[in-house]
């Protein structure tokens, strides 16, 4: 059994993993794992009762052999004594409160199996090591250190400028693409080898079992999952069994939607059989603002004191959404048309604006109403209310299908708002609908000109065949 003084893990280090996650770090970042999480090959890994997202990550582990403090990149590898296989297990159900520290989700007993054999680092080419992972006998991960964003020596040298690495310390060097979820009864195996030398660690074997322990909400964080966590744990929306995300909001589509009035969009959606896409009862805090973006959803449930105690404080679902919203996203909040409490205030509105959010739509209330209205962020709400969440709401979960103002909203739906209200547009229909609206707007503008010039309403609104022929001739559609 390994007995390291400390275990340090790298967040994202492989190009393939960065591409899979859609974000590439400019510098390595790290977290600690407790030594109590160390396990051996053949040990079981427990998924706690009531959880669903236990994820494996096959990795190369470095074992430090000589003290390293402020070592150069050229000398860093000489401080590595040996290499072995590791599986950096994590429970995504507990990620929410960790904020990158990974204490809860990756620090559990048995969540750092190492072994089974050590490979002497002397004579190894650190750019030619391979890591492979099998789930139930099927190869699911394979990459080499040639595909690292930061070389193994780079990681050692970087860490040594921040802290002293002692003999026996272990560095988990990140996982390539293909990490995913395992279920009770599954077996996951990881092997590290040097194909050019013909040496291997052998397969590090872990079998997943269902645990019996549960979590006491009186003591701290409890498991929470949403579709974003499912997507990241499984590796993709498809692997997680989630519907495909809608197309990104292109600059061209955004420009067209910005020109299109909500009333016209509603009319064209109704022509296509969509009568229930208006978010009822919400109005802009500042008249005259246009809202265009893709939905990022947040759900509040009715307040219940015990649930507010477990879910309402700390880095709760509400704060997570406002802290993670991306450019061109609209935070859409399900508050059950309950405006007897605020669902956001000035601080959260400022955070959303700073992150480049397109706006916020809530079928609940807004605190600090005047200040929020002065922030350059479109906010649509049922009205002002001074109370905080706990009066009516518990922030519960995010990135899932919700109901807002009587309309169903899914993550990635297009949200458009103006002084007439807010509509939800399925991404697959957006181009067709907005093109029809803009064509109709051009036609209506021409009709208005004819009415101003004296044309009779009976003939031009709607246009009879004579006026239609004239219009199409003038616009090159004859």
267: exposed, middle or buried (C-beta count within 10 Å: 0-12, 13-18, 19+)?
A: middle
Supply 321's token pair.
Answer: 């959404």
Angstrom CA distances, 181 to 91, 140, 228, 400, 452, stand at 9, 11, 14, 20, 66
Angstrom CA distances, 220 to 73, 313, 314, 450, stand at 42, 10, 10, 69
Instruction: Report how far residue 344's alpha carbon sits from residue 284's, in angstroms, rounded to the nearest whole number.
Output: 14
Query: Binding residue per annotation — 196?
Result: no
Query: Binding residue per annotation — 345?
Result: yes
Query: Binding residue per annotation — 346?
Result: yes
Residues forming a β-bridge with 9? 31, 172
Query: Binding residue per annotation — 348?
Result: yes
- Kind of pairing, strands 379-381 and 283-284? antiparallel
Supply 305's token pair.
Answer: 């004191």
Supply 159's token pair.
Answer: 């860490």
80 membership: H or E segment, kind and range: strand 80-87
Where do the DSSP E strands lie in 195-251?
Answer: 199-200, 204-210
DSSP letters, 453-470, are TT--HHHHTTB-HHHHHH
Q: How many CB atoms lie within 10 A of CB 292?
A: 23
> In the Cβ-directed half-sphere of 229, how many Cα atoms lie within 13 Å?
23
Residue list, annotated binding site for Mg(2+): 368
Which residues belong to the annotated binding site for substrate?
345-348, 367
- Binding-site annotation: residue ranges: 345-348, 367-368
């Amino acid at each position: 059994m390994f007995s390291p003084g400390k275990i340090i893990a790298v967040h994202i280090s492989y190009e393939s993993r960065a591409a899979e996650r859609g974000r590439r770090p400019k510098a390595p970042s790290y977290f600690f794992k407790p030594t109590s999480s160390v396990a051996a090959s053949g040990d079981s890994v427990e998924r706690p009762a009531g959880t669903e997202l236990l994820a494996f990550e096959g990795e190369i582990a470095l074992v430090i052999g000589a003290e390293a403090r402020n070592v150069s990149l050229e000398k860093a590898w000489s401080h590595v004594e040996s290499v072995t296989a590791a599986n950096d297990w994590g429970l995504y159900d507990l990620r929410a409160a960790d904020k990158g520290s990974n204490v809860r989700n990756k620090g559990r007993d048995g969540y750092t199996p190492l072994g089974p054999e050590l490979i002497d680092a002397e004579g190894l080419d650190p750019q030619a090591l391979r890591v492979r992972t099998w789930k139930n006998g099927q190869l699911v991960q394979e990459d080499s250190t040639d595909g690292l964003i930061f070389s193994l020596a780079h990681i050692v040298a970087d860490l040594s400028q921040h802290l002293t690495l002692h003999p026996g310390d272990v560095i988990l060097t990140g996982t390539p693409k293909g990490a995913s979820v395992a279920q009770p009864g599954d077996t996951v195996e990881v092997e590290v080898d040097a194909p050019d030398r013909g040496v291997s660690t052998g397969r590090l074997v872990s079998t997943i079992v269902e645990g019996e322990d549960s979590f006491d909400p009186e003591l701290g964080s409890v498991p929470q999952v949403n579709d974003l966590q499912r997507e990241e744990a499984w590796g993709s929306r498809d692997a997680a069994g989630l519907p495909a995300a809608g197309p990104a909001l292109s600059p061209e589509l955004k420009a067209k939607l910005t020109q299109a009035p909500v009333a016209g969009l509603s009319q064209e959606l109704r022509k296509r059989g969509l009568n229930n896409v208006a978010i009822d009862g919400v109005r802009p805090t500042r008249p005259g603002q246009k809202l265009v973006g893709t939905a990022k959803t947040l759900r509040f449930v009715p307040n219940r004191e015990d649930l507010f105690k477990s879910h309402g404080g700390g880095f709760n679902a509400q704060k997570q959404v406002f802290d993670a919203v991306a450019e061109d996203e609209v935070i859409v909040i399900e508050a059950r048309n309950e405006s007897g409490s605020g669902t956001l205030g000035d601080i959260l509105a400022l955070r959303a604006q700073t992150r480049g959010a397109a706006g916020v739509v809530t079928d609940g209330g807004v605190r600090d109403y005047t200040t929020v209205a002065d922030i350059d962020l479109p906010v649509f709400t049922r009205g002002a209310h001074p109370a905080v969440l706990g009066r009516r709401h518990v922030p519960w979960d995010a990135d899932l299908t919700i109901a807002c103002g009587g309309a169903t909203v899914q993550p990635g739906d297009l949200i458009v708002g103006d002084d007439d209200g807010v509509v939800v547009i399925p991404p697959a229909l957006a181009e067709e609908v907005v093109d029809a609206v803009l064509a109709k707007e051009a036609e209506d503008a021409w009709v208005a000109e004819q009415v101003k010039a004296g044309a009779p309403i009976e003939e031009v609104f709607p246009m009879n065949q004579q006026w239609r022929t004239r219009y199409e001739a003038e616009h090159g559609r004859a």
